[in-house]
Structure 1
Amino acid sequence: MLTTDANDCVVAATITVKAVLRIAVRYSLAMILSGFAIQLKAAVVLQYHHVSDHTPASTSTSIARFERHLQLIETQGFEVVSLPTLLENFKIAGENQKSRDQFEQKKQLAITFDDGYESVYRNAYPRLKSRNWPFTIFVNTQPLDERWAGFFRWSELREMLANGVTVGNHSSAHDHLLQRLQGENSEMWRARVAADVTLAQQRIEAETDQAQRLLAYPFGEFDRPLRELVESLGFVAFGQHSGALTDVHSWQALPRFPFGGHYGDDADFVTKLNARPLPLAQVNLYDQSGKKTDAVVSEQALPTVELILADKVAALQCFGPSEVKVTQTQDRVLVSLAAPVPEGRSRINCTARHFSGGFMWFSQPLFRLPANGRWLD
């Protein structure tokens, strides 16, 4: 239920044919002169909501575009695997160079859907089934239990399970998990959120006999306390910030490439399919006083993202909800915003050209509570 971030549009718009040719020449020279060579584990997770021509445009991928995405996955030579398989292979790839090389050669990706919309069963499932491709659905269980219009039924989900579908947890009520209720302290908040996520997991296991500990945050919203709570419950968790798979934040803040609305034309989709993570050793977020902060920022916050590089990166470009200033040294990049973070959800996206021809990508989500104290849907 989250629209994809406007920053992605800016990023995609900058990647024109002319720009690609200019950067390719620049990088060819850079590799010759400096031995530039970044070897990274490369894998992406794709995220959809509706697949329909008749649902809200901002969270919908048309049937024709979705079919085109599947064709491009084939022509680009990718293998579609289940999300648990991709995560396991991604972990193994970090053990040594041989494992990393083998992982690179496989060109694997995973496809996910959030919420449990009927259009996934009607329009996406038949097309994926015909290709024998697995996928994951993160379901918020209350609509299924209460048989809301526009959502598939538990029986339909069980039918999909028999054809390679993995079920993930998207909470029970799809509330803003960061929301603190009136008079609620931290302990009360933890208990309430844990109960909601646990209820969803119990319903999933009861209806499907699957017990995967995979969670997608409603609206893609999370902070450190929520990540720590989710980790204590035994979940690997995904946001809705864009980028190739990386655990530089944590295994409770994994990225996905969201599609919907005007995102996902051929050039945009192919760029994201072939994306790699920026080679980062660490990511820090600071407020304007230089104090470490979290993804949830205050009204007047001018956050700075510090990227500690694990390898050389040239021609880095960053985009945000306002103008950004990028300061780069050999192993450190500072990305600062010129204006306060807007209410709701936004991101700082950074990209750089990889010598293989694709782009390296990093996204830092930012969340600001609106003045009325209620998170935006």
Structure 2
Amino acid sequence: MPDSICSSERAARRWPVDRLRCLALALMLVSGLGSAAAQSPAPTPETVASVLMYHRVGNADHPSTNVTEAQFRAHLDYLETEGFNVVPLTRVVEALEANRPLPPRTVAITFDDGYRSVGETAHPMLEARGFPYTVFVNTEPVNAGQAGHMSWERMRGLAAQGVRFANHSRSHAALFHRRDGETRPRWRDRVRTDLLDVRASLRDELGDAVHQSPPLLAYPYGEYSLELMDEVAELGFVAFGQQSGAIGIHSNSLALPRHSFNERYAAMDRFRVKVRSRALPVIEQAPLDPVRGSRTAPALSLTLAPTPDLRAGQLACYYRGERLTPEWLEADRRFEVQGKAPIPVGRTRYNCTAPDGEGRYFWFSQLWVHGDGGT
């Protein structure tokens, strides 16, 4: 099977499933065992947690990367009032690596880029509720004293109050993209130098406040490629994108989803659905590489682990205003979808959801990138 979780050492690094469980899943896929409750034990809950991603708070000059103070406060009030389990991002990663779900309604909060509004506006609201959070920092603007970004001094002050930090690259360039005339070895050296330089800077400036075991990375713009995932894996990172969805025990630890919010997409009805979402239990997919050389919309094949309360008959995928009806290649287990419209230059996604019968949605989002990235 192409891109199988059991097919190669490289794929196994992407899908953090222990060898025995991997073999068991392969046997189930081949033999069809586990389709009836009498043939298998009760399934382990598939969802680990939902991770929320923000950039700026209360900075109206940048609406595409900003949520208003009122929107952010409403999000936090909902988490507090509804009794969500807000945990450090490290706890989510530990649970993922141990193939262990966390309590229901667990979330972690993250910010990308290290903007000043995180320390000035978001932090007091989070601190008042005792909510931990992580900031992914790109260091070039910090070292340059660029307006709008927190200084190292400010970040050290937040670190002393329990805030944690992680790698968002030095330059915030689209790391997957090779420059004109750049060979793969030179690209590889540039990317590794960039990420290792940030790892060292964060450790020197912020010490124990940096996620280090394992180190965590948020891809700039949420963009990655198969080649970049290989390099990130060799450096030992667990990595996050910006595609929506909950993290589950089957999730790819080199392309973990986060629910991203900005002014346009931060209304409470949308927030409630996302923060309560469940991980669509994808155990195999093709293709894995989101980078497309052609503008033809890709055919995406997904194989699901058996999940009794997943209403597969109501599963639907969405792409640029299209509703994509899945073609089931194996009933309730393996399907394929493909958009009709060409993919745009830049980023786009297929979003697949299915109800669970209790008002929540299983969710999986697949990123596609065409062009140089970073737009």
TM bin (shorter chain): 0.7 to 0.9
Counterpart amino acid of residue 270 in structure 2: D
In structure 1, the residue corresponding to 2:357 is in which secondary structure? coil
**Once the 2 structures are TM-superposed, how far is the Cα of residue 339 of structure 1 from its aligned partner?**
2.1
In structure 2, the residue corresponding to 1:222 is in which secondary structure? coil
1:83 matched residue in structure 2: 89
1:316 matched residue in structure 2: 315
- Could you tell me how far apart the structure 1 residues matched to 2:346 and 2:251 are? 21
Change over 3 Å in CA distance of 1:248–1:338 after alignment to 2: farther
Q: Percent identity?
A: 37
- Could you tell me how far apart the structure 2 residues matched to 1:321 and 1:71 are? 32
2:327 matched residue in structure 1: 327
Change over 3 Å in CA distance of 1:216–1:315 after alignment to 2: same
**Once the 2 structures are TM-superposed, how far is the Cα of residue 325 of structure 1 from its aligned partner?**
4.1
- Could you tell me how far apart the structure 2 residues matched to 1:104 and 1:354 are? 18
**Once the 2 structures are TM-superposed, how far is the Cα of residue 261 of structure 1 from its aligned partner?**
2.5
1:155 matched residue in structure 2: 153
- Given candidates 266, 269, 275, the residue that maps to 1:267 is 269
1:153-187 deviation digits (Å, cap 9, x = unpaired): 11110111111211010001111112211211111
Q: Would the aligned equivalents of 2:279 and 2:364 in 1 still touch at CA under 8 Å? A: yes
Counterpart amino acid of residue 54 in structure 2: Y
2:195 matched residue in structure 1: 197
In structure 2, the residue corresponding to 1:184 is in which secondary structure? coil
- Given candidates 114, 117, 122, the residue that maps to 1:116 is 114
- Could you tell me how far apart the structure 2 residues matched to 1:350 and 1:274 are? 15
Change over 3 Å in CA distance of 1:181–1:305 after alignment to 2: same
Q: Would the aligned equivalents of 1:133 and 1:164 in 2 still touch at CA under 8 Å? A: no
**Once the 2 structures are TM-superposed, how far is the Cα of residue 327 of structure 1 from its aligned partner?**
0.9
- Could you tell me how far apart the structure 1 residues matched to 2:321 and 2:217 are? 30
Alignment of 1:25-36 (within 5 A): none
- Could you tell me how far apart the structure 2 residues matched to 1:300 and 1:126 are? 45
- Given candidates 341, 344, 347, the residue that maps to 1:342 is 344
Q: Would the aligned equivalents of 2:96 and 2:248 in 1 still touch at CA under 8 Å? A: no
1:54 matched residue in structure 2: 60
Q: Would the aligned equivalents of 1:247 and 1:254 in 2 still touch at CA under 8 Å? A: no
1:16 matched residue in structure 2: none
- Could you tell me how far apart the structure 1 residues matched to 2:71 and 2:321 are? 30
2:181 matched residue in structure 1: 183
In structure 2, the residue corresponding to 1:262 is in which secondary structure? helix
Counterpart amino acid of residue 44 in structure 1: S
- Could you tell me how far apart the structure 1 residues matched to 2:284 and 2:137 are? 32
Counterpart amino acid of residue 286 in structure 2: N
1:250 matched residue in structure 2: 252
> What is the Cα-based RMSD across aligned positions, in Å?
1.8
- Given candidates 274, 295, 298, the residue that maps to 2:290 is 295
**Once the 2 structures are TM-superposed, how far is the Cα of residue 249 of structure 1 from its aligned partner?**
5.5
Give the alignment's TM-score, normalised by structure 2. Answer: 0.82
- Could you tell me how far apart the structure 1 residues matched to 2:293 and 2:320 are? 15
User: Does residue 351 of the first structure (1) align with residue 353 of the second (2)?
Assistant: yes
In structure 1, the residue corresponding to 2:117 is in which secondary structure? helix
In structure 2, the residue corresponding to 1:209 is in which secondary structure? helix
- Could you tell me how far apart the structure 2 residues matched to 1:191 and 1:310 are? 38
- Could you tell me how far apart the structure 2 residues matched to 1:161 and 1:376 are? 29
2:365 matched residue in structure 1: 363
Give the alignment's TM-score, normalised by structure 1. Answer: 0.82
2:139 matched residue in structure 1: 141
Counterpart amino acid of residue 103 in structure 2: E
**Where does structure 2 lack aligned partners over 5 or more consecutive residues?**
1-35
- Could you tell me how far apart the structure 1 residues matched to 2:257 and 2:373 are? 21
1:12 matched residue in structure 2: none
Alignment of 1:121-136 (within 5 A): 121-136=119-134
- Could you tell me how far apart the structure 2 residues matched to 1:247 and 1:238 are? 15
**Once the 2 structures are TM-superposed, how far is the Cα of residue 69 of structure 1 from its aligned partner?**
0.4
Counterpart amino acid of residue 327 in structure 2: T
**Where does structure 1 lack aligned partners over 5 or more consecutive residues?**
1-33, 286-292
- Could you tell me how far apart the structure 2 residues matched to 1:300 and 1:82 are? 39
Q: Would the aligned equivalents of 1:302 and 1:341 in 2 still touch at CA under 8 Å? A: yes
Counterpart amino acid of residue 222 in structure 2: G
- Could you tell me how far apart the structure 2 residues matched to 1:359 and 1:348 are? 15
- Could you tell me how far apart the structure 1 residues matched to 2:278 and 2:295 are? 33
1:36-88 deviation digits (Å, cap 9, x = unpaired): x9742241000000001423111100011100100011122111111001221
Counterpart amino acid of residue 266 in structure 1: M
**Once the 2 structures are TM-superposed, how far is the Cα of residue 234 of structure 1 from its aligned partner?**
1.0
1:242-278 deviation digits (Å, cap 9, x = unpaired): 0001364621100000000211211111111110011
- Given candidates 63, 74, 77, the residue that maps to 1:71 is 77
1:305 matched residue in structure 2: 300
1:275-299 deviation digits (Å, cap 9, x = unpaired): 00112221112xxxxxxx7211123
- Could you tell me how far apart the structure 1 residues matched to 2:232 and 2:352 are? 27
Q: Would the aligned equivalents of 1:134 and 1:163 in 2 still touch at CA under 8 Å? A: no
**Once the 2 structures are TM-superposed, how far is the Cα of residue 340 of structure 1 from its aligned partner?**
1.9
1:315-338 deviation digits (Å, cap 9, x = unpaired): 001101363342124111111111
Counterpart amino acid of residue 317 in structure 2: C
Q: Would the aligned equivalents of 2:297 and 2:341 in 1 still touch at CA under 8 Å? A: yes
